[in-house]
Every structure is written in structure tokens, then in C-alpha cells.
Amino acid sequence: MDAIDREILRELQRDGRLSNQELAHRVGLTPSPCMRRVRQLEQDGVIQGYRAVIDPEAVGRGFEVLVSVEVRRDREAVEAFEAALQDIPDVIEAYRLFGSPGCLLRIAVNDLRAYERLWIERLTALSGVTEVNSQIIMKRIKEPTGLPV
């Protein structure tokens, strides 16, 4: 990966809807070699996809919570827990961690009442879960904007 590839990645992270013509102009290439580079970055798995950034409030998911979860430390329990998370759309990010807590979740729901229902009916009921701690997000200070490249 050279400096032009990195510039392509920076531009696409800023605006994934750039036309190839505009992207080529911004990185100093003609459209054909620019498109070849983008396709190669996609084929190599460097570019994994393109997404729209959605306002959580606009879709009724403006109440966000960071949740640390302890799961029994055996393979079966961890695998069952991770599989179950895939079926909970309110869990928008999930990370297995070294140490404690064993798992960190980012959850987006409509309001406190919706989170309480999720906590009672789904999170604490998951097999292997021994502890659930919630941190309500007061304010998002820095938005994810992509990786520094």
C-alpha cells in the first residue's frame, strides 16, 4: 500500500459516496487507475464495505448504554453468549475483552424504559451471564470517523 492508496482510504472514509471522478481528482489520478486501486483495495479486504451514518435519534435509538458483562469463563458459555448477542439488534457493538469485564457492549434503544426491559428480559437472562453493569452515555464527545491512515 502506497501513499496514494492511503489518500484514497482517507477520502473514502470522509465520504464513501464520492464519485470515482471526484475521488480521482482529489488524489491526483485519472479515473481509470483510481478505480483499479479502489477495486484492489476492496478485493484485498482493506475496504470492507460502505455504510450510511444514521442519526440515532431519527430512528428511535438515541438512548445509548455501555454495558460490561461477565460471563462464566468456559468455552461453551462464552460461545453461547456470543451467539445469542447476534440475535439482539439493540446490541450494536460487542467486544470480548482480556481481563475484567469479559465483554463490553454498546446498546442503542429508545429510552430508559426500553433499556430496562432489555436488561431484564434479555441481558440478565442470557446463559452464562454472571454480572451486568450499565453506564448510560451522557454525551458523545468524539464520533467514530474512521481509522487514521
Is the preceding peptide bond at 31 cis, omega within 30 degrees of 0? no
Which pTM was predicted? Answer: 0.87
Quick: pLDDT tens for 65-108. 999 999 999 999 999 999 999 999 999 999 999 999 999 999 99
**Please, which residues have CB within 8 angstroms of residue 116's CB and are 6 or more apart in sequence?**
none
